[in-house]
Amino acid sequence: MARKLTFEFLRTEAASAGVLAAAAVAALIVANSPLAGDYFALLKSKHALALGPLSLTLSVSDWIKEGLMSLFFLVVGLEIKHEILRGELSDPRKLATPVIAALGGMIGPVVVYLTLSGVLGAPHAGWPIPVATDIAFALGVLALVGRGLPPSLRIFLLTLAIVDDLGAIVLIGALYSGGTDWTMAGAAAGMLAAIALAARLGKMPSPFWIIGFAAIWWCTVLSGLSTSLAAVAFAVIVPLKPRREDHQSPLQEAMHDLHPYNAFLVLPLFAFAKAGVSMAGLGMEQALAPLVIAIALGLFLGKQTGVLGAVWLVTKLRLGERPAGATWLELYGVSLLCGIGFTMSLFIGALAFPGQATDLQTEVKLGVLGGSVLSAIAAAVVLTFARRAKAAVPA
């Protein structure tokens, strides 16, 4: 069952990459068309959600970032829990290489960014932006050019990306949860504990899980904490044990039901809202600003160096092994894929510079798009060459 769920995840993520790319391209087109004014005005417009005496007002951009993206983090949390307890991360023998590679892939971009920040003068606050890998885009590119490559590379990339996401979530919680209303945070924690206890004592029908998640999310927004933390914490309490032997567990059912909506609705909407960059009045000075270069090279150089260097170190110290049947050139191609940081990098960028001038947000988007596109093209070239080189070798 664990392997079946893993490959279902892979297929969905690979298929959604095209939709995600289309949404990003559409955002760029609209942001540079006569509809640009309406596009940016819509994202800034505020809308209220009222439930009796309760009311919450956010901009469309924030409803997507804090609302819809909480479903993204819920799915990520469910995937992490499943992989740790039942999947690839449950086997210590398979853990060392991708986990250490993920850590290297987080350290490398930080080192590159901070180095360039010191040299070029980019804002230090942007250092977490190039840390994360976009699972959907990375797996999508691998699906396009990876036919004939060892299946172990896909599992390696998925495991690495899951650990990478966990690290990004920890960073978000540690860095972007200031100004907390502890009364509302306590209410969210209390409801989370009550639902966890109720789930252990008996079976809870789906509507209770949905209402519970919505209530915890609402309190988290009012508390000022990142909703990503609430979503992952909620995923932790979703039971992994099946209700009956012939049925999936609540966690597996939630993964199965939510993942398509996450992949084909939530992430494309986020991409459409966040990837729109207006080129009007954009000069070379801003296109090559220190922040743009630091983010782009953090993704492109930092990720490949950190991931490949960590794998080399692990194998050299005999702490782990290369993915079965994979060559070093193929691993280099996968390490380049890790430089695709689109979704999570844009999300962290919005948190790193909240309410900042438009030019800083534009530079964040340019840096993320530039580094991600460069990484994707380089990875496609390297993996295509590696596949052809392997095919040319006589059996």
Of these ranges, 79-88, 233-242, 258-267, 370-379, the one predicted with the greatest mean pLDDT is 370-379
pLDDT at 7: 47
Q: What is the pTM of this model?
A: 0.78
Dig out the tokens for 177 from the structure: 């949860």
Q: Are 331 and 320 a contacting pair, CB within 8 Å?
A: no
Each residue of 174-191: pLDDT tens digit?
A: 888 666 788 998 999 999
Residue whose C-alpha is closest to residue 108's, from 259, 358, 304: 304
pLDDT at 129: 94
Mean pLDDT of the chain: 85
Distance CA 138, CA 31 (A): 25
Of these ranges, 160-164, 248-252, 287-291, the one predicted with the greatest mean pLDDT is 287-291
pLDDT tier, 256 (very low <50, low <70, confident <90, very high otherwise): confident
Percent of the chain surpassing pLDDT 70: 91
| CA quadruple 254, 260, 263, 265: dihedral sign | negative
Residue whose C-alpha is closest to residue 210's, from 183, 187, 238: 238
pLDDT tier, 142 (very low <50, low <70, confident <90, very high otherwise): confident
Q: Which residue has the higher pLDDT, 50 or 215?
A: 215
Would you say residue 365 has pLDDT above 80? yes
Dig out the tokens for 71 from the structure: 């479903």
Q: Which stretch of 77-81, 153-157, 170-174, 242-246 has the lowest confidence by average pLDDT?
A: 242-246
Q: Which stretch of 38-47, 84-93, 224-233 has the lowest confidence by average pLDDT?
A: 84-93
Distance CA 54, CA 307 (A): 47
HEC string of the chain?
Answer: CHHHHHHHHHHHHHHHHHHHHHHHHHHHHHHCCCCHHHHHHHHHCEEEEEECCEEEEEEHHHHHHHHHHHHHHHHHHHHHHHHHHCCHHHCHHHHHHHHHHHHHHHHHHHHHHHHHHHHHCCCHHHCCHHHCCCHHHHHHHHHHHCCCCCHHHHHHHHHHHHHHHHHHHHHHHHHCCCCCCHHHHHHHHHHHHHHHHHHHHCCCCHHHHHHHHHHHHHHHHHHCCCHHHHHHHHHHHCCCCCCCCCCCCHHHHHHHHHHHHHHHHHHHHHHHHHCCCCCCCCCHHHHCCHHHHHHHHHHHHHHHHHHHHHHHHHHHCCCCCCCCCCCHHHHHHHHHHCCCCHHHHHHHHHHHCCCCCHHHHHHHHHHHHHHHHHHHHHHHHHHHHHHHHHHHCCC
pLDDT at 395: 52
> Mean pLDDT throughout 197-224?
88
Q: Which residue has the higher pLDDT, 325 or 53?
A: 325
Distance CA 187, CA 215 (A): 9
Q: Which residue do the tokens 């540690």 mark?
A: 174
Dig out the tokens for 74 from the structure: 């819920």
Question: Checking DSSP bridges between strand 46-51 and strand 54-59, what pairing results, if any?
Answer: antiparallel
Would you say residue 139 has pLDDT above 80? no
CA of residue 294 relative to chain centroid, distance: 20
Q: Which stretch of 220-229, 241-250, 287-296 has the lowest confidence by average pLDDT?
A: 241-250
Distance CA 192, CA 324 (A): 41
Dig out the tokens for 326 from the structure: 């994979």
pLDDT at 242: 78
Distance CA 332, CA 164 (A): 17
Each residue of 7-19: pLDDT tens digit?
A: 455 455 556 777 8
Would you say residue 118 has pLDDT above 60? yes
Would you say residue 4 has pLDDT above 70? no
> Mean pLDDT throughout 224-245?
83
> Mean pLDDT throughout 262-291?
84
pLDDT at 79: 80
